[in-house]
Amino acid sequence: MIIRLLSAALVAGFLAAVVATGLQFALTSPLILKAEVYEEQAGKQAALASPFAGVIIHAHGGEHHEPGAAAEWQPAPGFERMAYTGLATLVGGVGYALLLGAVMLALQRQPTPETGLAFGVAGFLCVALAPAMGLPPELPGMGSAALAVRQVWWLMTALATAVGIYLIAVRRVALTIVGGLVLIVAPHLVGAPFVVEESRLPAALAAQFAARSLGISLVFWAVIGLAYGWAWHLFGERAVARRSHA
């Protein structure tokens, strides 16, 4: 059972990563590059506004750096950046596929493409759509609250939405349905962490990135669910065939 779970998760995560990475390169990567241009221009303007800008820029060969600050590592543009993006998507895809399969088995649902798709859409609602209602996907240069505070609110929202969907879709009792709705709405009544910095990007660019990111996330989760159900069935048939030939 464990080997079958892991094998199906690897297949589903790989297929979802291939599809999502391709969509990211085509739809969101160009927007990220545009945002980085805006961020760089805003940084230069801020540096020039400083009374010590000329001294700092001259000392660092024309580039602005905060005194004593170490340069952050970033993957090189081109293949290296694409490779790291694909690797991160693959790791996330396999992890989410493992979680999806474990939840299906814990709820005693036989993994099939249809069941996997339903659970995949639920995963999208919990992990992507519900948190995005308060913390939309961000481009470089966008204003945001402190990272730790955002992470806590994101986790709270994802867990509350997951439990709420379980109470509504699985338990299906009037009391649990009401409780599920309350849980889903509660994080948004509390409110997401507010932005403490002013965004340097055009609103249209940020909105386009958020919409495309959520669309890619929906496809990502749908492929995970469909592929997991298909791979589970495939590995089950192979196990039966091996036992029959033994």
Interval 109-143: pLDDT, tens: 999 999 999 999 999 999 999 999 999 998 987 87
Count helices and strands in the chain by DSSP H and E runs: 9, 0
pTM (two decimals): 0.85
- Are 106 and 223 in contact by the 8 Å Cβ rule? The answer is no
Buried b (16+ CB within 10 A) or exposed e, 137-173: bbbbbbeeeeeeebeebbeebbebbbebbbbbeeeee
Smallest Cα–Cα separation from 47: which of 33, 65, 67?
65
- Are 209 and 139 in contact by the 8 Å Cβ rule? The answer is yes
Backbone φ and ψ of 109, nearest 5°:
-105, 125
- Are 136 and 210 in contact by the 8 Å Cβ rule? The answer is yes
Q: Is the pLDDT of residue 187 over 50?
A: yes
Q: How far apart are CA 234 and CA 152, in angstroms?
A: 39
H runs (alpha helix) in 107-202 = 113-124, 130-132, 147-166, 174-190
User: How do residues 4-34 score in pLDDT, each as one tens digit?
Assistant: 999 999 999 999 999 999 999 999 999 999 9
Q: Is the pLDDT of residue 57 over 50?
A: no
User: How do residues 216-227 score in pLDDT, each as one tens digit?
Assistant: 999 999 999 999
- Are 137 and 209 in contact by the 8 Å Cβ rule? The answer is yes
Q: How far apart are CA 144 and CA 198, in angstroms?
A: 8
- pLDDT for the residue numbered 54: 40
